[in-house]
Structure 1
């Protein structure tokens, strides 16, 4: 049902700092076209991958004005011609459609992922970006085997925590490189083999990160590595990877590009992974099967997603983004579109 003032949507008309360019706008309630559904949203997550495009890192492929947000959960309230009527009233992840930071989202019906009632909204809103990336990178891209060592920078991230959990399922050893020692207990509890933080360099335990990785791996280096930072940190990770190993470039948290292929000099294989590209090339069956695997792991409590630190109403998007980027943040930041939401009311 549309409000008197229209449905709310978060847009940006130009690239820049989120606090400067994000605006709350109103629009008439959109109608689903052929093969589409309209989903009334209840919760949306905030990830670095949502914020990087706003700052213009991918300006060449983003058409302005744009709506941010890749993840979220809601209820199907309308279906277009050709869409299954059985979807009406179902909780789904409305993926491969519009940005999720709005009251209602139009998305292709065949890509919508139904979510069972056993998974609450705050968990369902995180089921896409990090879980699917972790699963596809470890199982398809790197094809990690039991005993392999995987090293990753920004290891204290939500993605790092999921990869630590995957390491216990798949048998590889996860070496997480982190900045904050406070993140180490969480990573060890999740299944990390070793957590390397800056304090171990400053107290003389290791000369530097490169020396640490080679010492911990008996002089062999890591079989594979994941770079989420770019810049000098990415180049450093190449050096930590064994000859013949593979480094996957996932992100650019530093904002500093690095030519990993140039640094690798054919000694290490370089792979770029963009979830967006994977999405465009997999068939519907693979897409749905992957999500069923994720949902199954969550229901079995073998995949635990981040606790919610705080949730903000959609109109508080600026405060929400600032909270998501706060250095001391310990849990996930969500947006929500329930007018009466309060902690514990999911």
Structure 2
């Protein structure tokens, strides 16, 4: 059996280094399955390694893609044969930007019938990150009026934090740069929206919280934007970095010593590496339940491209405000 596979054999701009090749699919080993992919989203975490940002933990040639959904077409020894034909998220195995993906059967997440492919394919990186972060911040309960500040809140993960304000009971102050996103975030569940391009963020947050400041802030940008976010957090509050869209680290020393704010990095891969198989599957069970209860709306994809158009799709994803899919 052969299938299309997207490779990068050197680091560089995706439109220059991505190639689509025909590759023979290896038979699944003991405890493994092979899934024929139907849909994969394109995330910054997919294209950043192509440019060589994580050379210390990636090797060439590389196959991009961390998430997606497919149907099991082959099972290895010791795998129940009734897995054949099941829709799964074949995660934590090979890169998903290929026609066939091999992974461990115990890590493949069964997908309920009520979740369409376009949504199932996006249920890993952003929803699981938001879920783990919210459980970490609020899993043991918090007093009323817990103020959570999130920048880049018009992003896919920002929209999830807005929706889960009702689930976890925090008051979300969403930080944006374009006023056009204000009403959508309020509809999704944000308590207040601050346009940082039009107002001083710290002053706005202090005003909204009666001079207290936010209890915690979640930063996806880094650099000066991240530091300004930290300035709006109360003393002894928490500043959590989950992304680096600017490509520049925040000044951790200033955040700790000058602002008196606790600074932490969160990488989903660290949680994944430490989670048991049961904890892994349980987290997705909870995500599916939130989806079914309409407490998780991933929004409509902005565009779709075929696997052979991967380079073009990455360019569209970087320019688009919505999620681009590879089908």
Query: What is the TM-score of this pair, normalised by structure 1?
Result: 0.90
Aligned equivalent of 2:326, options 301, 326, 335: 335
User: Corresponding residue for 2:61?
Assistant: 65
| Residue 263 (structure 1) shift | 2.6
- Count of aligned pairs: 324
Q: Secondary structure at the residue paired with 2:95?
A: coil
After superposition, give the CA deviation of every residue in 1:238-287 in whole Å (9 maximum; x if it has no partner).
21111111111111100112242443228111121111111000101111
Counterpart residue number, 1:113: 109
Equivalent position of 1:230 in the other structure: 222
Give the secondary-structure state (helix, strand or coil) at the position aligned to 1:263. Answer: helix
SS in 2 for 1:38: strand
After superposition, the CA RMSD in angstroms is 1.4
Matched, 1:249 2:247: no
Residue 272 (structure 1) aligned with residue 268 (structure 2): no
- State the match for 2:7 in structure 1: 11
- Counterpart in 2 of 1:307? 300
Which one has more relative contact order, counting CA pairs under 8 Å at least 6 apart? 2
TM-superposed CA distance for 1:142, in Å, is 5.3
Question: Residue 199 of structure 1: CA displacement?
Answer: 5.1
- 1:144-183 alignment to 2 at 5 Å? 145=142, 146-183=144-181
| Corresponding position: 1:220 with 2:206 | no
**1:142–1:271 Cα change, 3 Å:** farther
Matches within 5 A, 1:17-166: 17-141=13-137, 143=139, 145=142, 146-166=144-164
2: CA distance, partners of 1:222 / 1:12 = 42
**Alpha-carbon displacement from aligned partner over 1:41-69 (angstroms, at most 9, x marks no partner):** 00001111112222222111111111111
Q: Return 5+ residue gaps in structure 1 as ranges.
A: 202-207, 337-346
Give me the whole-angstrom Cα distance separating, in 1, the residues matched to 2:272 and 2:103: 14
Give distance in 1, aligned partners of 2:10 and 2:228: 34
Partner SS for 2:64: coil
- Which residue of structure 2 lines up, in the alignment, with residue 293 of structure 1? 286
Inter-partner Cα distance in structure 2 for 1:53 and 1:274: 15
CA deviation map 1:26-53 (0-9, x unaligned): 2112211111110000000111111222
Q: Secondary structure at the match of 1:238?
A: helix
Which sits farther off after the overlay, 258-267 or 213-222?
258-267
Q: Could you tell which deviates more after superposition, 236-245 or 67-76?
A: 236-245
Contact 1:142-1:224 at 8 Å conserved across structures: no
Structure 2: gaps (5+ residues): none
Q: Any conservation in 2 of the 1:181–1:199 contact (CA below 8 Å)? A: no
Shift of 1:198: 3.8
- Deviations along 1:293-317, one digit per CA (max 9) or x if unpaired, are 0011111211111211211000111
Tell me how far apart the structure 1 counterparts of residues 254 and 102 of structure 2 sit (CA, whole Å): 42
